[in-house]
Each structure stands twice: as C-alpha cells, then as structure tokens.
Amino acid sequence: MTETSGKEGQYARKAVDWSNAEYADAHAYLAHRAQLIATLGVALDPGDEVLDLACGDGGLGEHLLARGLRYAGVDAEPAMVGAARRRLGSRAVVGVGDLNTFVPPTPVAATTVFRAIYYAHDRAAFFARTARFSERKLVFDLNPRQYRVADVVAELEEAGYGRIVLHPFFVPQTQRLPGPVVALAKLAEHTGPLARLVLRARFTYLVAACR
Ligand SMILES: C[S@@+](CC[C@H](N)C(=O)[O-])C[C@H]1O[C@@H](n2cnc3c(N)ncnc32)[C@H](O)[C@@H]1O
C-alpha cells in the first residue's frame, strides 16, 4: 500500500486547504469551536497551551491563537502537518504523531481532538493517557447517534476527569448560514431538552472533560 492510498491517503489528498474545503463557513464554525474550547467547563487563560491531536491543517489553531492561547498540533498525516506548518509558521509547533501514543514533552492546559476520536484504538486508554498530561481539560466532539454518551462519560470518569460538560454544537459544518441565523443556532444550543431532541437527528456534542 502506498503512502497516499487507502484510508489514510484520503487525508494526504485533501490536506491542501482542508479547512476551507471541509467547512462551508470555516470562520464561523472554527471560531465557535475555539470559543467553547476556551470557556466550556473550566476557562483557559491567555498563554495557556492547547495540544490539538489530529489537528489537520491547523485551521482551529488560527482561532485559538487569536484568543491569546498557545497552540501545538499533532497529526498522523505528514501532508496535513505540512499544511498546518505553512498556515501557522512560527506561531505554533506542529509535528507528525499518532494520537494513540503521543505524549507532549511537558503537560498542557488542554488537549483537543476533533472529528478523530474514532481513531483511538482503545478509547478508555486514550482518555487515561490524555488525563495524565492535560492539566485542566480534554475537549472533543461526540456524535450521540454513533456512541452511547453514558459509556463515554463513564470512561472519562474512570480516567480521572471529575466533571464532564456536554454542550450541543449547532453551527453546521456543510451549510453556510447568514450571520443572524448562526447567532440563533448558537442560542438554540442552550435550550436543554429541545437541543437534545435536535441531537437525535443531527449535530454533535462538544464535550469538556475537566480535571
Ligand atoms: C476528519 S480529519 C479532522 C481534522 C481536524 N481535527 C478538524 O476537525 O478539521 C481527521 C484527521 O485525523 C488525522 N488522523 C487520523 N488518524 C490519526 C492518528 N492515529 N493520529 C493522529 N492523527 C490522525 C488525519 O490525518 C486527519 O487530519
């Protein structure tokens, strides 16, 4: 199998301009993700470091850096790492690594993993390892139609995360909406039972597992 064939090869082929191709409104989507990473569960402070596992082209990094956070990215696909390095330059440290084994040289304030939790060969072990080097929280997205939320929460608790906060994420990935509609979608995230009803059909949770 060549480096660009098979399942992994899909990312090599898509690395250039990944974020703009993948998100109908990359700015609205990634800015909202970054805002929740910085605030959900426990707040991050300017200067705190975020380690983004399976970082893709580092599109999220732009928005975390804009918040005064430090950003380090890791991805298994060298072409993605190249794209992230070109995007972020000296503002971030980005390297090739496998989220199943990667441990940062020093602990970070928060670890994130987006649209990639399914690459963890052993999810419970992944949670346990990240808990050892994530001083404040682990943040990731979770599709409640794909995973039993109660199982995931139990694994996080077992890994040592004391407080798990689930927040619906309603900015669409594949549709660009006018600004006022995006604002309404974000408000709808706070509607409790109604939001949970919507999640039965569409969208994901953003999960903050706090230490
Ligand atoms: C669907 S993309 C998500 C990229 C980015 N996190 C985002 O939300 O746009 C999945 C990413 O996971 C990376 N990936 C796949 N398996 C991985 C692994 N075992 N360790 C680290 N990265 C991996 C791929 O190269 C790809 O960049």
The whole-number pLDDT of residue 9 equals: 84
Domain residue spans of the chain: 6-210
Minimum CA distance residue for ligand 1 atom 18:
98
First and final C-alpha spacing in the chain: 41
- Best of 80, 88, 129 to mutate for ligand 1, by most ligand atoms within 8 A of CB? 80
Percent of the chain whose predicted confidence (pLDDT) is above 70: 96
Counting from 1 in the atom list of ligand 1, the atom nearest the Cα of 18 is 9
**pLDDT tens digits, residue range 184-203?**
999 999 999 999 999 999 99
Q: Which two tokens stand for residue 210?
A: 């706090």
Mean pLDDT of the chain: 95
Which residues' Cβ are closer than 6 Å to ligand 1? 11, 22, 53-56, 75-77, 80, 98-100, 114-116, 119
Instruction: Give the CATH class of 6-210.
Output: alpha beta
- Distance (Å) from CA 58 to ligand 1 centroid: 11
**pLDDT tens digits, residue range 86-125?**
999 999 999 999 999 999 999 999 999 999 999 999 999 9
Spatial separation of the C-alpha atoms in residues 82 and 85, rounded to whole Å:
5
The whole-number pLDDT of residue 203 equals: 98
5 pLDDT higher than 50: no
39 pLDDT higher than 80: yes
Q: Is 116 helix (H, G, I), strand (E, B) or coil?
A: coil
The whole-number pLDDT of residue 115 equals: 98
The whole-number pLDDT of residue 8 equals: 57
Counting from 1 in the atom list of ligand 1, the atom nearest the Cα of 52 is 6
37: closest CA among 23, 25, 53? 53
- Best of 96, 100, 115 to mutate for ligand 1, by most ligand atoms within 8 A of CB? 115
Minimum CA distance residue for ligand 1 atom 4:
56
166 pLDDT higher than 50: yes
In the chain the beta strands, taken as DSSP E runs, fall at 49-53, 70-75, 93-96, 108-113, 134-142, 163-169, 204-210
The whole-number pLDDT of residue 4 equals: 38
- Distance (Å) from CA 119 to ligand 1 centroid: 8
The whole-number pLDDT of residue 96 equals: 98
